[in-house]
Chains A and B, each alone.
Chain A
Amino acid sequence: MTPNSELLKNLYNAFNPFEPLPAGDPNYVDCQEVRGDADILVELGNRIQLADQNTCQLYSGHRGAGKSTELLRLKKYLEERQFYVVYFAADEEDIDAEDAQYTDILLACTRRLLKDLSSIGNPKPVLNWLQDRWQDLQDLALTDMQLEDMKAEMQIFQFAKLTANLRAVPQLRQQIRERINPHTVTLIKVLNEFLADVKKRLPINKHKLAVIVDNLDRMVLVKDGVHTNYEEVFLDRSEQLKALDCHLIYTVPIAMVYSSRATDLRDIYGDLQILPMVMVCTRDGNIHQPGLDKVKEVISRRIRQFALDLPLETAIFDSPETLAKLCLMSGGHVRNLLLLTQDAIGRTQNLPISEKAVRRAITNARDTYRRTVEDRQWSLLAEVSRSKQIINDDQYRSLMFNRCLLEYRCLDIDGEIQRWYDIHPLIQGIPEFKEAVAKLL
């Protein structure tokens, strides 16, 4: 046991990459200014609050950028403004991110709404619908129980069993979809009757209803010929996606936002909200001090809870330079930052965290990026590193999806929002990338 082994242990565990922060968490750092003024409360929250009719908005961003954390903030914000909010993570419900279709999303919503709201409103219309379908569906719920004889709670439970099979039993998935598909319109109709009743009976101080469906952006792209599952869900079925009688926010895969269908998406849903990276470098490659400071703050908040009296830049890290480089190498991507920091702490036996430990962590993360990029993609990356722009072309889609390209946003001198793109800074040092850059000349 070294003197600070207990402290190192605490620090190590403070950088877990797999949990979004709950609203109001002391570790939350408001990065709005350095994300080009992107504020979910203003951009999504305001629009919902001001609208006199239902809204349906899409929210997107890189995996691990902090979307769930932001959506949980939005939930709290809306709740404080007389909204009743149903928030759920699609893939923690019944949706299989590897193979999701519209019907699955509708069923997951149905189940979740029944679960959260049937104590408020009367779910009878939905349960009647289910009873009418039951003859047809009961074998897929893997049950021989008769629905008529059950209480409402049991009926809801049976429905949950059916939708659970969507995920648990891939062989049944297609059958469930086929049998539900012809009835989605009537299902939405009865859901809306249910929601109408719920809205009449909302708790005191709640007047409006909003549903946030998170983690739909984890849907893995599946291509069937030229058609993708993203298009099926967000374009072909957009009417139904928007049809629920409440305010809706869906997360959408960032690759869809940058596909050749991006314009269609904007036509249907209006402006999409994308959570950009924290801008640690400007478009012309200079350090952006405010952004860098924010990223340092993300680290210092998590460290401060255990080591209030240790100066970050000399006692936790061996030099201000080591910390700065770690922050810059994250590209302003929060989960990358947490991962790199956790890895560097893991490679440290005694504080301070040395340059060597951080470089080891970086080497390690860089290797993952090297393996992510396919051979033909190096030249695309080289071009973007120069132009700082991408076009809505499917070639860039997977590079956005796997975070080799990052989106930044800033305000120009006229206060206009400027979006720009760059390669992940870890890619800079990869030999294949350097070669591709050399070929550009």
Chain B
Amino acid sequence: MKPNLSDWDDDFPPDGNEECANLITALERKTGFGLFFVQCTARESERVITRVTLNLTHKNVQVLRLVDPIDNLYDLVAGLYRQSHFDVLMIKGLEYSLYKYEKRHFGEITEGQFSNLTNVPPILNHLNQQRERFRDDFPVNFVFLLRPFSINYLIHRAPDFFDWRSGFFTLPVTPEILEEESSRLISSWDYESYLKLNPEERIVRFLEIQELLKAADQTDTNRANLLWELGTILSSTQEYEAATNAFEAALRINPQNPQTWYRLGYALGKRELHLQALDCFQAAVRLQPNYHQAWFNQGIAMYKLGRFHEALENLDRAIAIKDDYFLAWFKRGVTLNDLERYTEAIAAFDQALKINPHAPEVWYARARSYAIQGKTEQAWENLQEVLRLNPQDYTEKIQNNPEFREQGERK
């Protein structure tokens, strides 16, 4: 007889309320040692903790909230157990011990990539090893509250520990939670805010965004915005290829966002793909004609492609929108130098220096404009300013530049 299992092949997931009630039932019934795992977001975990604490009135429930990486859980638990003989210990924040270890490139952190067999995060090692000691020394229930990323880690890299579970509960991500979490992460953050994060904070944010992107009920608007954030994080760690993919995915959902085109162009430029970058900046200014940064970067892409005249036009567009645009004035001067229009170049540098007189690179470029024209006196004055502002970086550079040979001899 063939078994008729096909009707059971379809998943039959419970809702979050039911799942939480199941956890409480399990904890009520379990005597002695037990391992439980709950998959949920960081915020939800607090709701679970509250519900369990309120419902398990006749059991002593303690909560261990980890905020730092740890290598040893046993000693921590032993200390707590001495203080209060709890029946249930809910443990939150084990992820920090995994993030710290996660040294791979962000772009590779995706589910299902656990091919690195050379080592394992120390905490998982510890849990695998001390499993029997936990069982024999603590006749209590442990509830680990973890995000999907960490559960995957356990499945792959601590299979023996995970295999001892008495229960694994998945709290489905409801549309409300999805919305709440998404809007938290779709920030008004700019690139600089991301630069300020430490590596672990970046990984947390990266993983949170990735998980929200995977959610089946995610709206397209949120998805595009989350991809934008993802690409920006990746750009902030110089992973421009992965960033490119993220921005491209965002544009497939919403091609009308000039910022996305701009960021994509920027990432492509960093990868020296200037022709493609150019297309992106053009798309950005088509959607938002007063987007001065996009005009400026379009100019840079043109310059890199050796199309100096067009570069000049674009830089002028940027300046027309924002007349105190330091970088645009500076790059205008550089481009004019390349076109051998030195007088105009010097005028552009003058403008740049009005905005920021402390920029050695501008003084240096202006010195070149003079030196090439044979105006050694003025060149020398400019170089002196350069050396006053930044002797470390420029002394050698000046000595090695043949354009300044005469000045060098004078010195």
Q: Which residues of A contact B (CB under 8 A)?
A: 8-9, 12-13, 16-18, 63-64, 89, 91-92, 96-99, 167, 170, 218, 220-224, 281, 285-287, 324-325, 328-329, 335, 339, 342-343, 345-347, 349, 356, 359-360, 362-364, 366-368, 371-375, 401-402, 425, 428-429
26 CB contacts below 8 A, A to B, read: A12-B29, A13-B32, A17-B165, A18-B135, A18-B164, A63-B159, A63-B160, A91-B129, A98-B124, A167-B129, A220-B128, A286-B1, A325-B3, A325-B5, A329-B5, A329-B8, A346-B26, A347-B25, A364-B170, A366-B11, A367-B11, A372-B156, A374-B114, A402-B159, A428-B9, A429-B8
A97 CA / B117 CA spacing, docked (Å)? 13
Contact across chains for A342 and B166 when beta carbons are under 8 A apart: yes
Q: Is the CB of B125 within 8 A of A96?
A: yes
In the bound complex, do residue A328 and residue B3 qualify as a contact, i.e. CB atoms below 8 Å apart?
Answer: yes
- Interchain nearest-CB distance for A173 vs B (Å): 11
Q: Are B120 and A368 in contact (CB under 8 A)?
A: no
Min distance, Cβ B56 to any Cβ of chain A, angstroms = 14
Interchain residue pairs A-B with the least CB separation, the first 10: A429-B9, A346-B26, A12-B29, A18-B164, A9-B29, A359-B12, A223-B117, A363-B11, A98-B125, A363-B12
> A325 vs B4: C-alpha distance in the bound complex, in angstroms?
8
Within 8 A of A (CB), among B122-171: 122, 124-125, 128-129, 132, 135, 151-152, 155-156, 159-160, 163-170
Distance to closest chain B CB from A438 (angstroms): 14
Compute how far the CA of A373 lies from the CA of B114 in the bound complex, rounded to whole angstroms.
11
Contact A363 B118 (CB under 8 A): no
Contact B3 A63 (CB under 8 A): no
Chain B residue, CB-CB nearest to A374: B112
Min CB distance B368 to A, Å, is 52
**A342 to B: closest C-beta gap in Å:** 6
Instruction: Collect the chain A residues with CB atoms within 8 Å of residue B29's CB.
Output: 8-9, 12-13, 345-346
Partner of A347, one of B2, B22, B170: B22
Given contacts A287-B2, A329-B5, A360-B14, whether A98 and B120 have CB atoms under 8 Å apart is yes
Among B6, B12, B152: residue with most chain A CB under 10 A: B12
- The yes or no answer to B106 lying at the interface (CB within 8 A) is no
Question: Would B111 and A371 count as touching, CB distance under 8 A?
Answer: yes
Q: Is the CB of B168 within 8 A of A368?
A: yes
Q: Is the CB of B159 within 8 A of A222?
A: no
- Are the CB atoms of B152 and A367 closer together than 8 Å? no
Contact A349 B118, beta carbon cutoff 8 Å: no
Q: Is the CB of A346 within 8 A of B167?
A: yes
- The reply to whether B155 and A17 contact each other, CB–CB distance below 8 Å, is no
From B8, B22, B165, give the contact of A359 (CB < 8 A). B8
A17 and B3 in contact, given A371-B111, A371-B155, A372-B155 (Cβ under 8 angstroms) = no
B13, CB-defined interface residue at 8 Å: yes
Q: Name the prevailing secondary structure of the A interface residues.
A: helix
Expressed in whole angstroms, the Cα–Cα distance for A218 and B12 within the complex equals: 33
Closest to B169 in A: A364
Interface residues of B, CB < 8 Å — how many? 53
Instruction: Determine whether the beta carbon of B167 is less than 8 Å from that of A221.
Output: no
Given contacts A13-B29, A98-B128, contact A343 B13 (CB under 8 A): no
Determine the chain B residues whose CB is within 8 A of the CB of A89 once the complex forms.
132
CB nearest to A281 among chain B residues: B3
Residues 285-335 (chain B) with a chain A CB within 8 angstroms: none
How distant is the Cα of A243 from the Cα of B234 in the complex, in angstroms?
Answer: 55
Nearest residue (CB) in A for B120 is A98
Chain B residues within an 8 Å CB radius of A92:
132
Known contacts A64-B163, A349-B25; A428/B12 CB under 8 A? no
A345 to B29, CA, bound (A): 10
Interface residues of B in 95-132 (CB under 8 A from A): 111-115, 117-120, 122, 124-125, 128-129, 132
B271 CB–A CB distance under 8 Å: no
Question: At the interface, yes or no: B33 with Cβ under 8 Å from chain A?
Answer: yes
Q: Are B22 and A346 in contact (CB under 8 A)?
A: yes
Tell me how far the C-beta of B141 lies from the nearest C-beta in chain A, rounded to whole angstroms: 11
List residues of chain B with CB within 8 A of the CB of A371.
111-112, 151-152, 155
Would you call B10 an interface residue if the criterion is a C-beta within 8 Å of the partner chain's C-beta atoms? yes
Residue in B closest to A349 when the chains form the complex, CB atoms: B25
The answer to whether A97 and B30 touch (CB under 8 A), given A18-B135, A221-B117, A346-B167, is no
**Minimum CB distance partner of A348 in chain B:** B25
Is B170 a contact partner of A18 (Cβ separation < 8 A)?
no
What residues of B have a CB within 8 angstroms of the CB of A285 in the complex?
Answer: 2-3
A363–B13 CB distance below 8 A: yes
CA distance A97 to B166 in the complex (A): 22
B124 to chain A, nearest CB (A): 8
Cβ of B1: which chain A residues have Cβ within 8 Å of it? 286-287
Kindly state whether residue B31 has any CB partner on chain A within 8 Å: yes
Residues of B contacting A220 with CB < 8 Å? 120, 128
Q: How far is the CA of A402 from the CA of B132 in the complex (A)?
A: 20
Residues of B within 8 Å of A16, CB to CB, are 32, 34, 166
Residues from chain B with Cβ under 8 Å of A222 in the complex? 117-119
As a 0/1 sequence over residues 19 to 42 of chain B, the CB contacts with chain A under 8 angstroms (1 = contact) are 000100110111111110000000
- Return B324 CB to nearest CB of chain A, in Å: 52
CB of A328 within 8 A of CB of B5, answer: yes
Q: Contact at A13–B156, with CB atoms within 8 Å?
A: no
Chain A contacts of B128 at CB under 8 A?
97-98, 218, 220
How far is it, in angstroms, between the C-alpha of A342 and the C-alpha of B25 when the chains are bound? 12
Q: Are B11 and A429 in contact (CB under 8 A)?
A: yes
Residues of A near B124 (CB, < 8 A) are 98
Rounded to whole Å, the gap between the CB of B408 and the closest CB of chain A is: 53
Q: A98-B128, A428-B5, A429-B11 given as contacts; is B156 within 8 A of A346 (CB)?
A: no
The docked-state distance in angstroms from the alpha carbon of A371 to that of B26 is: 24
Identify which of A13, A324, A349 contacts B31 (C-beta below 8 A): A13
